[in-house]
Each structure stands twice: as structure tokens, then as C-alpha cells.
Amino acid sequence: EAQVTQNPRYLITVTGKKLTVTCSQNMNHEYMSWYRQDPGLGLRQIYYSMNVEVTDKGDVPEGYKVSRKEKRNFPLILESPSPNQTSLYFCASSLREGVALHFGNGTRLTVT
């Protein structure tokens, strides 16, 4: 089944403890992206990648890192999480010139 898989679905952590949210797609998509969703602010893009080893900042990249060493994987790294990073995170992927963006099921992160 074609899908974007994010893990974990739920994560509660403490300030400063490094964490990684994984994202994997099995559709051979070139484009992958991370978004955070907060009430009243919609979906804000954190980082995106047009292909392996190519990443670019979105609108809210501060406090996040990404890597794209393989085409299928695009992990989101929070080196030192803070409470303002408590949010719902989505990973998504698409063909380079695709007309559909495929979303993962989301990761709800709480930083205390």
C-alpha cells in the first residue's frame, strides 16, 4: 500500500532532550516536507526536500534539523526541544511534479 509513515504518533518529552520523528514513504517520491499545525495558524512548513541531499528551509525552521540521505526517509530532528515546539507535526511527500501531496498520519508532540 502506498503510504507515508510517521513515527511515533504521540510523543511526550522534556525540555532539552533530543528527539527524532521519523518519516518514510514507499512511493519513490522526490519531494518531502515537514509541517507543524497549531490552532489558528494552519500548516506552517518547517523544511522541505526536493531530492536526496537537497533540503531547504520553510517558514519556521528554527529549532529543527532534517536530513535526506535516502530518497524514502526524511527524519525531523529536535536537538533541544522547547515547550513552544509542542504541536501536531505532519510529514508529506509528492512526485517532483505531482499534483497530490500525500500526508502521514501526524505526530502529536508535547514538550514539558
Residues found near other proteins in the complex (CB under 8 A): 31, 33, 35, 40-45, 48, 50, 56, 58, 88, 90, 92, 94, 96-97, 99-101, 103, 105-106
Minimum CB distance to other proteins smaller for 80 or for 90: 90
Neighbours of 43 (CB within 10 A): 14
Which residues touch 1 (CB under 8 Å, ≥6 apart)?
none
Cα(89)–Cα(43) distance, integer angstroms: 9
* Distance in Å, CB of 61 to other proteins, minimum: 13
* Distance in Å, CB of 101 to other proteins, minimum: 6
* Distance in Å, CB of 73 to other proteins, minimum: 19
